[in-house]
């Protein structure tokens, strides 16, 4: 099924990865939100669990191996075109994870990857839902 103008919502996985008090972000190389900073993640594949999809997507986009800590929340991402038709519709499942290993580098769908402290996030133009999810995950990562 096409990602643009889908017939039904697609399941996407986003992962908030923490290392030494910093969160890993990717600059998107493809639409939607091309050129913007976002969480690493992508579409869940048939036969793949949510955790497996999160681990795979982070590795593919950033070269980083992670351990999933838990589920943060789900988010609806619905974008309409100029005519009001639904161009993108994702049900996003956001996970919290810790960095385990790997030299972080942009790969796959990422144009760039970088680690940021929470205080640096406000100047990046992140989607408000991404900021909310990161805030929730920060508390979760400290507990776990």
What would the pLDDT profile of 57-115 be if each residue is shown by its tens digit?
999 999 999 999 999 999 999 999 999 999 999 999 999 999 999 999 988 677 899 99
Domain-embedded: residue 48: yes
Domain-embedded: residue 18: yes
Domain-embedded: residue 4: no
Domain-embedded: residue 19: yes
Domain-embedded: residue 86: yes
Give residue 66's domain range.
10-143
Which carries the bigger pLDDT value, residue 33 or residue 64?
Answer: 64
Structure confidence at residue 22 (pLDDT)? 97
Domain-embedded: residue 112: yes
Domain-embedded: residue 117: yes
Domain-embedded: residue 99: yes
- Residue 144: which pLDDT band, with cuts at 50, 70 and 90? low
Q: How many domains does the chain have?
A: 1
| DSSP code string of 35-68 | TSEE-SEEEPPTT--HHHHHHHHHHHHHS-EEEE
Nearest to 29 by CA among 90, 112, 91, 88: 112
Q: What CATH number is associated with residue 107?
A: 3.90.79.10
Give me the chain's average pLDDT, please.
93
């Amino acid at each position: 099924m096409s990602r643009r103008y889908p017939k039904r919502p697609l399941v996407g996985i986003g992962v908030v990865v923490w290392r030494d008090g910093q969160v890993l972000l990717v600059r998107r190389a493809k639409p939607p939100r091309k050129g913007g900073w976002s969480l690493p993640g992508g579409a869940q594949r048939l036969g793949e669990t949510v955790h497996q999809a999160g681990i795979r997507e982070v590795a593919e986009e950033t070269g980083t191996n992670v351990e999933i800590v838990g589920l943060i929340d789900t988010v609806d991402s619905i974008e309409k075109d100029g005519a009001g038709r639904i161009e993108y519709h994702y049900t996003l499942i956001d996970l919290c994870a810790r960095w385990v290993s790997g030299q972080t580098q942009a790969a796959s769908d990422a144009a760039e990857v970088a680690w940021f402290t929470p205080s640096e996030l406000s100047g990046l133009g992140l989607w408000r839902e991404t900021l909310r999810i990161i805030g929730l995950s920060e508390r979760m990562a400290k507990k776990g």
